[in-house]
Chain A
Amino acid sequence: MNADNVVQEKVSFNIKFIERIDWEKYGLPMAFICMLIVFTLINPAFFSFRNMIQTTRQGAILFLVVSGQTFALLARGIDLSQGSVMGLASIAIISSIYTLGAYAGSIVGILMGGCCGLINGVLIAFLGIPPILATLGMLFIALGVELVYTGGVTLTNLSDIDQAHLFWFGGGMVGPIPTPVVFALIIGLLLYFLLKRTAFGREIYLFGSNAEATYMAGIPTKRIIVTVYTLSALLASLGAFFLTARLSMGFPHLGEGWLVLAIGGAVLGGNSVLGGKGGIWQALLGAMVISFLDNGLIVSGVSSFAREAVIGAVIIFACLASVIRGRS
């Protein structure tokens, strides 16, 4: 090998290295880090330990809801009822706590929220109603039921003991880490294993990619559908639980605005709307980007009007970038 060849090989190696970076996989995390750097430059207070911790607390809740939506998206569906289910769960939790105490009441409330998902799943799997319509109907029904039950009143008046027990879940810490983050990490890991390491998880991906083929292959598709939507509602209810615990009150409209964030976060992270592609890692990424973006904009002093537009632009650009990179 003479000198020219060596130089040429080095140059072509460099170019190939850039092309070889899996942009689709690393693009978003890199953009996320860039975003953190930019916000820290604008206001160093952004990167303070306390701010990071507080933002992850909110991010954990969003992660749970986005994970739920991810399951629905993976199965080539969508869950429009998540916002209403959050409000219903919030009310159910506080009401149950009145009679059952903090722990039992919370579990009952979360399960009630999960029931909405169960109903969704049954409607979709057994009655053949398209997911978008079934969950749209549930959006109205869940909202109406909890509004009729409460008359729109916020539920407070927890006894001191209950409030203290409950608050730890939403506002407390495990060492230096906020409680919701710990729970979210554990649940996230469990969900990850479910999706990537079990047969059932693979069935979900298969179903999302090609429902007919999955059915023909003899896999019980109804089971998949019911599970997916129940999980979606359960995770949304869990998210509502941590929020409710932190606020110590049942707020009927708790979920307002969360649905769009959940879908936005799920797709931003890389889940495909057409199903079969994505997962928990994508959900985590999407939730973190949105949470830190919102916090960063507040800390940077951007007005709330501009914030909304910025979040929308970011969602589009993030998805655009992954599409373009993925193609070239």
Chain B
Amino acid sequence: MIPQGNAIPLQGAKTGLDIGFYWERYGVIAAFLVILAISSVLAPNFLSVSNFLNVLTTMSFVLFVTYGQTLVIISGGMDLSHGSLVSLSCMASAALVAIEHPWIGLAAGLGVGALCGFINGVIIGIIRLNAIITTLGMLYIAGGLSLYFTEGRSVEGIDPEKASNFHFLAEGQIFHIPFVIILALVFLILTHVILRHTRFGNHIYALGGNEEAAEIAGINYARMKMMIFTLSGLSCGVAGSLLTARMLSGEPRVGSGTFLLESIGAVVVGGNDIFGGTGNVGRTVLGLMILHFLSNALNLIGISTFAQQVIVGIVVILFCYLGLARGK
């Protein structure tokens, strides 16, 4: 396939609005608004503050994972272990919250995620094993481990009284806005700053754009990969710990459903290049919002979950076709 370059207008050849340019940059937002508009007509109660807050709350838990995936994809790789890392972090944090102080549990969840991510990074960065193989293997290993220690049972015994501050992270509200949304926003700003305003972020883009050139330019491949995948694992750790806070228990398969598909889906539906080198985290957020609001609207309309699958699949493909999700 011949690669399609950016729609840069020829010098002096065009005056007026360059549709291609605006389409690529803002098309996703427009599509999102169209979906919102159609949904508000068809779905009762869609357009209300409490509905939006509900959707954003459930979405926020997944959002953390997508931040990590964004970093990995922009750097040219992909992290398939996300689902299992979320489950493992959830179990680890629950286990420690149940027996120790809740904040140690939180640290445990974050630590486990970061550690697995670090292992991914070492294998990918130093041994130079392909990212897909490594994270696939980690998917299995972490998945098995999540089940192994409790023989598949959930972790119970968390005292709601003792853990009420911890629970607040997931279910509390500040000025009627769920705290987890605020957390997600904070991490969004953090991720954006890392990507766009630090040298590290620059190097991520460079790696994704042209790996060889980046290395020749002096970027330390191993160190970059280790840091990127550790951050990716850490983002899963955040999600897992927050899920523990939401459920006040540890669920061994909590991440195995849609977390992985959504994390990749959000990155690409939002318009980031699947091969890396360009994009930003704002697009990812947009992509996830599209997936979640669409699902919410379909729920409110009353369309069966089976039919929803078909619609989601068509939306993903449609967005690609319309040139909204790019990639050679």
Contact = CB atoms under 8 A, between A and B. Distances in A.
Most central of A144, A215, A313 by chain B CB within 10 Å: A144
A144 B310 contact: yes
Contacts of A125: 1
Interface in A295-328: 303-313, 315-316, 319-320, 323-324
Interface in B252-282: 261, 264-265, 268, 274-275
A125 B2 CA distance: 11
Main secondary structure of the interface of B (DSSP, over half): helix
A142 B306 CA distance: 10
Contacts of A141: 309-310, 313-314, 317
A144 B317 CA distance: 15
Name which of A125, A129, A136, A273 has the most chain B CB atoms within 10 A of its CB.
Answer: A136
B58 interface: no
Interface in A114-168: 123, 125, 127-130, 132-134, 136-145, 147-148, 151-152
Contacts of A19: none
A221 B130 contact: no
B308 A136 contact: no
Contacts of A280: none
A136 B261 contact: yes
A320 B63 CA distance: 32
Interface residues of B, number: 49
A264 B136 contact: yes
Contacts, number: 157
Interface stretch (B142-150, B168-176, B191-199, B215-223): B142-150
Contact of A305 (B144, B275, B313): B144
Contacts of B327: 130, 133
A323 B304 CA distance: 47
Contacts of A316: 123, 129, 133-134, 137-138, 141
Contacts of B2: 212, 215
Most chain A CB within a 10 A radius of its CB, from B1, B2, B140, B327: B140
Contacts of A320: 123, 127, 129
Contacts of B133: 267, 273, 315-316, 319
B43 interface: no
A274 B317 CA distance: 23
B136 A260 contact: yes
A7 B113 CA distance: 56
A100 interface: no
B139 interface: yes
Interface in B83-134: 123, 127-130, 132-134
A263 interface: yes
A211 interface: yes
Contacts of B151: 303, 305
A137 B314 contact: yes
Contacts of B157: none
Contacts of B307: 144, 148
A130 B328 contact: yes
Nearest to A73: B132
Contact of B317 (A133, A304, A305): A133
Nearest to B128: A323
A153 to B, nearest CB: 11
A140 B312 CA distance: 7
Contacts of B148: 303, 305-306, 309
Interface residues of A, number: 51
Interface in B1-29: 1-4
Contact of B306 (A144, A212, A272): A144
A315 B136 contact: yes
A309 B252 CA distance: 14
Given A133-B327, A215-B2, A316-B134, A140 B309 contact: yes
Contacts of A324: 127
Interface in B150-205: 151-152
B300 interface: no
A312 B309 contact: no
A147 B308 CA distance: 10
A141 B311 CA distance: 7
A81 B310 CA distance: 13
Given A273-B132, A312-B138, A307 B144 contact: yes
A324 B128 CA distance: 9
B134 to A, nearest CB: 6
Contacts of A309: 140-141, 143-145, 148
21 contacts: A123-B317, A129-B320, A132-B264, A132-B274, A133-B327, A136-B264, A138-B317, A140-B310, A144-B308, A144-B310, A144-B313, A145-B310, A148-B310, A260-B136, A306-B148, A310-B144, A313-B141, A316-B137, A316-B138, A316-B141, A319-B130
Given A316-B141, A320-B129, 12 more contacts: A125-B1, A127-B321, A129-B320, A133-B317, A212-B2, A305-B151, A306-B144, A310-B144, A312-B136, A316-B123, A316-B137, A320-B123
